[in-house]
Structure 1
Amino acid sequence: MTRKKQIIIPIAILIVGILLFFGFSSMKKPPEEKAEVDNRPIVAVEKIHIAPMDLTVNSYGVVQPKYETELVAQVSGEVVELADVFVRGGFVAKNQLLARIDPNDYQAALIDAEATMASARASLETERAQGQVAEREWKRITDTSPTELSLRKPQLAQELAHVKSAQASVLLAKRNLERTEIRAPYDAMIESRTIGLGSFVGTGSKVGKLLGTGVAEVRLPVADNQLQFLVSQGEDAQVNLIGTYAGKDIIWQARIARSEGVVDNKSRMSYLVAEVQDPYGLKTKKETLKHTPIRFGSYVTAEIFGVSLKGVTLLPRYLVTNGRVAILAADSTLHYVNITIAREDGSNMIVTDGLNEGDQIIVSALDYPVDGMKLVLQGSKSDVTTEEAPETQIASTKD
């Protein structure tokens, strides 16, 4: 009996174990199928637009008059008259009287010079008559040729010299009388006046200073490597001068009149000179056009218009690496293209070759970019479930 139990019990345990195994196996659920994961980087792009562009060169400068003159007295005397406009900031026209020096002494000198000239002319006429008499008497007395002295020619030449000297004295007296009137040599603004009514001035004394209002100049420093972007190195180029007047930003039109033709020893810059006609608007009719004056001494920035490029695009500097940019090809792969950079403009680069209209340039960052790698455009629809891409790989998509 004991032996049977030893045989039956193990067999029963084995059968129960087998039954439990199949029971539990039938209760087990099959493993869930996981969706396929797309690990391609997600990128943002911008479309390339090709368009013409006019290049400009930026500069700066201070407005100065083209002509300025120190007025000095050419004769001495007392100042007996001053014009009302002969004050600091006053505007005067060409040949307008500014001051008058006492002319009495110079009028008297002119009268004396004219009297001396009249006397010299009378003496000349007398000597001519005496010479003619001497010639007639000589012919009546003898048939031989008379000498120069016999005909009184040396005396005639002397009297002629006296007349010329008297004429010179008259001219000098007239000039000195004219110099008693101090007049403006051109349309100008008074910068300073150093005389007063009743003051005495000597020859060479400073009277005042004038600033010509016909033309204003601005010296514009330009780096040598920027001249290549100007037509004919800036000759006769149009310029926009930007400054402030009464708290407002104003733009004045100017043009490059000339280049100074040398490189400054200190700044190593070339200088172009821009001219503004009628800076204070004195010749402009106020009823037809309001002119905002560009004042002498004003600081202005300048935009010099240069060469025109037919087909270019503007790219941020950070997108360019070793003269190449990354674009999203038609087959959704990364592709690097070489570009030609015409100019670096601040944080941007002007590209003239290598890109075509409609190319999609990648503007988002990639951790490990490889030419030809598969990419996914941000916002595109896909039948494949996409894992969330790293934050550094995603930027906004712009069209």
Structure 2
Amino acid sequence: MPAAAKARWLALLIIALGALALGAAYTFKPPAQKKPQVSAKPVVQTLPLTLADYPLTIRSQGTVQPRNSTTLVTEVAGEVIHIASVFEAGGLFKRGDVLLRIDPHDYQVAVQQAEAALAGAKARLAEELGKAEVARREWASLIKQGRKPTDLALRKPYVDQAKAAVDSAQADLAAAERKLARTQIRAPYDGMVQNRQADLGQYVNLGTALGQVFATDSAEVRLPIADQQLPFLYSSAQHSVAHQQAVNLSAQFGAQSVSWPARIVRSEATVDERNRMHYLVARIDDPYNLRANSTAPALKVGSFVQAAISGEPLTQVYRLPRSLLHGDNQLLVADRDDRLQQRTLTLLRSTGQYIYFRSGTEPGDRAIQTALELPVPGTALQVNPATQQATP
């Protein structure tokens, strides 16, 4: 057979074998896998809306101030001859303790002079009473004869004058003794020295400031409260802002946060014209831990503290994270038909973390947690089954 014919038959054989191979591959190929259809509905996570009661805390802040603070001043003039060791900044004292003494010699002399004057007045009164008795006896026989003596004849004006002199001398003695007592500056209550302004050997005049002291039995903090927060502190039973409300005061001591219990004792009667704030006053008992066996640090006067006031609880309200709120109090929800809706809420209270409300939603609504780029009301949603729960 010629070579050209062999080549043609070889080519035809190769083509036939290739065709058979392609046919077999097509016949025995595995079936194509169908891709799952992707839903066009946005998948969202939701939070249930459940009515519940929530305790309420009002936040404020303020500076610790002494409940009683006194500037000690002199009521007599003289040289300072003694200063108590506790009469220094931070010194503790008891009521009645002598903190400072002024030279008493001039006032002791004044007391002696007043005592002498009183003794002389009493002697003159005794003399006049004796003379009046003599006059009364002399007039006794004349009265029987029908003659009537005058008050002057009975020496009554002289007796009254002598009695008045005694009263005046007694008053002068009391004034002298009072001035002598004022040479000793005594503590008006249990407390602590804030500062001292007088020194040993100093001559002080009437009204000279000697130092500042304050009571340690309790301290107070003025807490500013905004208008919108007052209703949550209103007591329907007292028909006013509730007194004796519990307050937790806290401050940072290094890396440690320390708290002290306090209570609301009064509300101030005016509104601050500068910031339109109302002020409540919280009282802390024994801020320096002088009576109680406590390991907590002393709450010193002048400390800045944060305050958490226990308000009236919110009853049967919804609570959601504040981050779910959009625009002008707008909330995105999945309705009972799993469609996107936008609800306008009427907020009862809003904090940095939560919002509280009672109205604005409808039965079956669930709050949407998932961020949606273009929320269009009425859009069908695929709600994550793990978070589905309708409003009761």
TM-score range, shorter chain: 0.7 to 0.9
Query: Is the Cα–Cα contact under 8 Å of residues 322 and 351 in structure 2 kept in the other structure?
Result: no
Give 1:339 deviation, angstroms: 4.4
* Equivalent position of 1:198 in the other structure: 201
Query: Is the Cα–Cα contact under 8 Å of residues 121 and 162 in structure 2 kept in the other structure?
Result: yes
Cα distance, 1:135–1:305 mapped onto 2, change above 3 Å? same
* Equivalent position of 2:9 in the other structure: none
Query: Is the Cα–Cα contact under 8 Å of residues 49 and 358 in structure 1 kept in the other structure?
Result: no
Q: Note if 1:304 corresponds to 2:305.
A: no
Give 1:348 deviation, angstroms: 3.1
Give 1:353 deviation, angstroms: 4.3
Q: Note if 1:272 corresponds to 2:280.
A: yes
Distance in 2 (CA, whole Å) between partners of 1:306 and 1:334 is: 36
Distance in 2 (CA, whole Å) between partners of 1:89 and 1:32 is: 87
Give 1:238 deviation, angstroms: 1.7
Unmatched segments (≥5 aa) in structure 2: 1-22, 235-239
1:90-149 deviations in Å (ceiling 9; x for gaps): 111111110111222222211221121111111111111110111111223463110011
Distance in 2 (CA, whole Å) between partners of 1:51 and 1:195 is: 63
1:260-311 deviations in Å (ceiling 9; x for gaps): 1111111121111111112112222x3xx33431111111111121110123
Q: Note if 1:174 corresponds to 2:182.
A: no
Q: Note if 1:222 corresponds to 2:225.
A: yes
* Equivalent position of 1:156 in the other structure: 159
Kindly provide the amino acid, as one letter, of the partner of residue 365 in structure 1.
A
Aligned-partner SS, 2:241 = helix
* Equivalent position of 1:261 in the other structure: 269
Distance in 2 (CA, whole Å) between partners of 1:36 and 1:283 is: 76
Kindly provide the amino acid, as one letter, of the partner of residue 97 in structure 2.
Q
Cα distance, 1:179–1:35 mapped onto 2, change above 3 Å? closer
- The residue correspondences of 1:222-371 to structure 2 (distance < 5 A) are 222-231=225-234, 232-245=240-253, 247-284=255-292, 286=293, 289-321=294-326, 323=329, 325-329=331-335, 332-335=338-341, 339-353=345-359, 360-371=366-377
Cα distance, 1:163–1:349 mapped onto 2, change above 3 Å? same
Kindly provide the amino acid, as one letter, of the partner of residue 261 in structure 1.
A
* Equivalent position of 1:377 in the other structure: 383
1:327-383 deviations in Å (ceiling 9; x for gaps): 445554445556442111125311234669996422113345455543223478xxx
Give the TM-score normalised by the residue count of structure 2: 0.81
Aligned-partner SS, 1:295 = coil
Query: Is the Cα–Cα contact under 8 Å of residues 52 and 309 in structure 1 kept in the other structure?
Result: yes
Q: Note if 1:120 corresponds to 2:121.
A: yes
Aligned-partner SS, 2:167 = helix
Query: Is the Cα–Cα contact under 8 Å of residues 336 and 364 in structure 2 kept in the other structure?
Result: no
Distance in 1 (CA, whole Å) between partners of 2:256 and 2:51 is: 35
Give the TM-score normalised by the residue count of structure 1: 0.80
Query: Is the Cα–Cα contact under 8 Å of residues 94 and 185 in structure 1 kept in the other structure?
Result: yes
Cα distance, 1:247–1:151 mapped onto 2, change above 3 Å? farther
Aligned-partner SS, 2:268 = strand
Query: Is the Cα–Cα contact under 8 Å of residues 49 and 357 in structure 1 kept in the other structure?
Result: no
Q: Note if 1:82 corresponds to 2:83.
A: yes
169-178 or 328-337: bigger deviation: 328-337
1:43-88 deviations in Å (ceiling 9; x for gaps): 2223345432111221111111111111111111222221110111
Distance in 2 (CA, whole Å) between partners of 1:147 and 1:224 is: 79
Kindly provide the amino acid, as one letter, of the partner of residue 305 in structure 2.
V
Aligned-partner SS, 1:129 = helix
Distance in 2 (CA, whole Å) between partners of 1:224 and 1:310 is: 21
Distance in 2 (CA, whole Å) between partners of 1:102 and 1:32 is: 112
Query: Is the Cα–Cα contact under 8 Å of residues 344 and 350 in structure 1 kept in the other structure?
Result: yes
Kindly provide the amino acid, as one letter, of the partner of residue 217 in structure 1.
E
